[in-house]
Amino acid sequence: TTSGIPYNRINLAHGRAHNHGWTNGDSILADSGTEQLEFIALSQRTGDPKYQQKAENVIRQLQKIYPSDGLLPIYINPHSGTASYSKITFGAMGDSFYEYLLKVWIQGNKTESVKHY
């Protein structure tokens, strides 16, 4: 998307990306924030950095909307990159995002501050 927040579903047969209808078109935090490991590994194995760059851009875009407490809502508008709904949870639709942050930092050989990781 133009915001850098990915759609959570892709129809490979048609090449169309979209989100679940029940999210009113919003991307889900856990889905958007857990694809990084695979894309970083793809870049490492192919030698093409574009996959890692796209995946890391998702984290950068989410960092722009981080509230002071660091807890993100579970619904993100993929067009604007802003929070769509204020529900915050470490349960379903949010938990995996937080679990993956450190893994992404380690796998990506990061040296910058881990504040948002």
What are the residue boundaries of the structural domains of the chain, listed by start?
9-107
Chain CA centroid to CA 35, Å = 7
| Mean pLDDT along residues 23-51 | 90
The per-residue pLDDT for 79 is: 92
The per-residue pLDDT for 46 is: 97
Q: Are 112 and 105 in contact (CB under 8 A)?
A: no
What sign does the dihedral 10-34-44-60 (CA atoms) show? positive
The per-residue pLDDT for 115 is: 57
Q: Which pTM does this prediction carry? A: 0.79
Q: Where on the phi/psi map is residue 105: left (φ > 0), alpha (ψ -120 to 50), or beta?
A: alpha
pLDDT tier at 112, thresholds 50, 70, 90: low
| Mean pLDDT along residues 27-52 | 89
Of 51, 31, 29, residue with least CA distance to 40 = 51
Q: What percentage of residues in the chain have a pLDDT greater than 90?
A: 30
Q: What is the mean pLDDT of the chain?
A: 85
